[in-house]
């Protein structure tokens, strides 16, 4: 049985730079453009049969000039190794990618203007071994499922679907249903748009490769391209390469009332070394949001020395580890359940916190929750956030659950301040 290897990626966003990098690290070295260049070397060294990009190769029309050189260079490198480069357009590059495909040799764009188009990988004798069926975004938004217009024939040859689409509840970005993909007759699907990598369906595989290189601290975990090995009998094996050189992670450090600041620092180093073992083989920088949580009598000292934690930097197993942000989520050792209902400010706040955690009835506090939510919504609707809402497609109206999280944080801080003033040290 013949098996073909297809190197799959998506959401490269050439033109962008990863955010929150420490100052001494060169953003260009960790840029999507560099990751894209490295991908070509991986494809050639591995000898894959095709490279497939499921949309958002380029961040936007504004990056045509930078993208041209990067895309042409990779297309040429692959062509010299007789590896076809097959792409579809996503919502970000719906305008720029067709122009690049017209100008650059060896860059094959499938599915212009929201149509379905096929490219076949063939044997030396010209017989089709694998059909690549692709659909491209015709514009920035597309409210209908691309599968509604699928019109390519089933010729008894394994078919791999490639589309930039959204499996979430968001309906502006080519919404698709995973069951529709799974029953389409394709042996696998490669999707773009969501930056979190992973399988969304096992058999047949429905895969989001995720962003090739993570772009901000919210894109935690390993990233990189995937390899799909597709047999002529339709069997598919999947392999995530974890090829990203940058790894963002949120790392929690738990404290106890007995620990002092030095104990917490020691625990942080130990946790960070554990996380290094989870990084990919190509990782060069682990950028960490350190979350210190739990109840401790050293919380005041901890908060005042937060800046020291933000200076943590060391190397382990060839990987640079750098803390880029610290979230102090600790508080004094107060027994919330015991204090809830007391006729004083701490009692009210303890009751509110217990209710928000689900340990007490929420009804007595519903009024303050509704007022807080109205205030958060009012702030969201203000002119100060208009520019952010216009340019960030992921920015949505705050939900009541998000308001409760904010209220929980604020109530905890106020309760802590009162407790410190009264010298409360009872364990929770």
Q: Does 155 lie in the same domain as 182?
A: yes
First vs last Cα of the chain: how many Å apart? 63
Order of strands across the sheet with 236-240?
A: 107-109, 85-88, 50-54, 3-9, 226-231, 236-240
With CA atoms as reference, report the closest residue to 186 among 143, 133, 228, 129.
133
pLDDT at 127: 94
In this structure, what CATH number is given to the domain that contains residue 52?
A: 3.60.21.10
Statement to judge: residues 71 and 126 lie in one domain: yes
Q: Give the range of the structural domain holding residue 46, as residue numbers without chain letter.
A: 3-240
Paired tokens of 243: 């090829």
Residues 9 and 67 in one domain: yes
Regarding whether 412 and 355 lie in a shared domain, the answer is yes
- Do 126 and 7 lie in one domain? The reply is yes
Do both 382 and 342 map to the same domain? yes
> Distance between CA atoms of 107 and 57, rounded to whole angstroms?
12
Q: Distance between CA atoms of 403 and 242, rounded to whole angstroms? A: 35
Residues 69 and 178 both lie in one domain: yes
| Tokens standing for residue 158 | 């394994």
Q: How far apart are CA 295 and CA 257, in angstroms?
A: 6
Beta bridge partners of 316: 319
Total domain count for the chain?
3
Q: How far apart are CA 206 and CA 203, in angstroms?
A: 8
Model-wide pTM > 0.85: no
Question: Pick from 306, 331, 356: which residue ends a domain?
Answer: 331
Element (H, E) at 246: strand 246-255
pLDDT (0 to 100) of residue 394: 60
Structural Rg of the chain based on CA atoms: 26
In the chain, the largest separation of any two C-alpha atoms, in whole Å, equals 86
Same domain for 318 and 395: no
What parts of the chain have a pLDDT lower than 50? 425-428
Please tell me whether residues 119 and 94 are part of one structural domain. yes
In this predicted structure, what is the pLDDT of residue 1?
62
Last residue of a domain, one of 192, 209, 240: 240
- Residues 51, 88, single domain; the answer is yes
Cβ 22 vs Cβ 28: under 8 Å: no
240, 256, 288 - which closes a domain = 240
Name which of 5, 7, 10 is nearest 213 in CA terms. Answer: 10
């Amino acid at each position: 049985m013949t098996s073909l290897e297809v190197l799959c990626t998506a959401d490269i966003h050439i033109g962008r730079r990863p955010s929150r990098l420490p100052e001494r690290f060169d953003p260009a070295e960790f840029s999507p453009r560099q990751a894209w260049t490295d991908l070509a070397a991986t494809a050639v060294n591995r000898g894959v049969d095709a490279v497939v990009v499921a949309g958002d190769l380029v961040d936007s029309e504004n990056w045509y000039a930078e993208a041209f050189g990067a895309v042409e260079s990779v297309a040429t490198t692959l062509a010299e190794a007789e590896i076809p480069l097959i792409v579809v357009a996503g919502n970000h590059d719906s305008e720029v990618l067709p122009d690049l495909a017209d100008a650059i040799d060896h860059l094959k764009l499938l599915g212009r203007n929201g149509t379905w188009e096929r490219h076949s990988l063939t044997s030396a004798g010209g017989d089709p071994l694998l059909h690549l069926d692709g659909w491209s975004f015709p514009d920035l938004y597309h409210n209908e499922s691309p599968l509604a217009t699928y019109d390519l024939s089933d010729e008894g040859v394994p078919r791999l679907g490639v589309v930039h689409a959204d499996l979430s509840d968001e309906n502006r970005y080519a919404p698709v249903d995973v069951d529709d993909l799974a029953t389409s007759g394709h042996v696998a699907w490669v999707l773009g748009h969501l930056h979190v990598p992973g399988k969304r369906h096992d058999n047949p595989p429905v895969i989001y490769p995720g962003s090739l290189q993570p772009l901000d601290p919210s894109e935690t975990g390993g990233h990189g391209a995937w390899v799909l090995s597709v047999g002529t009998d339709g069997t598919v094996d999947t392999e995530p390469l974890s090829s990203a050189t940058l790894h963002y992670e949120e790392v929690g450090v738990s404290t106890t009332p007995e620990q002092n600041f030095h104990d917490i620092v020691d625990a942080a180093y130990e946790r960070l070394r554990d996380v290094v073992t989870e990084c990919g083989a190509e990782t060069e920088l682990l950028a960490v949001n350190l979350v210190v949580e739990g109840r401790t009598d050293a919380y005041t000292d901890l908060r005042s020395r937060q800046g020291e934690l933000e200076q943590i930097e060391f190397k382990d197993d060839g990987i640079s580890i750098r803390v880029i942000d610290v979230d102090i989520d600790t508080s004094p050792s107060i027994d919330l359940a015991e204090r809830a209902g007391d006729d004083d400010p701490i009692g009210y706040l303890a009751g509110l916190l217990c209710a928000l955690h689900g340990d007490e009835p929420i009804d007595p506090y519903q009024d303050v929750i509704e007022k807080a939510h109205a205030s958060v919504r009012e702030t969201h609707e203000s002119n100060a956030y208009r520019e952010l809402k216009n340019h960030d497609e992921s920015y949505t109206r705050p939900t009541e659950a998000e308001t409760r999280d904010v209220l929980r944080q604020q109530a905890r801080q106020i309760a802590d301040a009162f407790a410190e003033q009264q010298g409360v040290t009872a364990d929770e």
